Amino acid sequence: MPIKNRIKEFIDGMGITRYQFYKETGIAPSTAYNLYDNPDWIPQVNVLDKICERYKVQPGDLIYWIEEERK
């Protein structure tokens, strides 16, 4: 999948735990842990909105696109 999340990098850069992340954003614990552990897990718009609102960041700070190699 060419779209990835940067949640692990983001959380680690903030110096917070996954627990703090889900408590501060109000997202489900399983969602927070999946986002952290799996860069292929793309947040739904409402989750992305909660994260952006809480930390005052742009969606592009949390997800990115990778061009697929052509065969």
The superfamily in CATH containing domain 3-65 is lambda repressor-like DNA-binding domains (1.10.260.40)
37-46 tens-digit pLDDT: 999 999 999 9
What's the pTM?
0.89
Q: With bands split at pLDDT 50, 70 and 90, how would you rate the model's confidence at 1?
A: low
Q: So where are the chain's domains?
A: 3-65
Distance CA 11, CA 2 (A): 21
Q: 13, exposed or middle or buried, with CB in 10 Å at 0-12, 13-18, 19+? A: exposed
pLDDT at 71: 72
Longest dimension (CA), the chain: 43
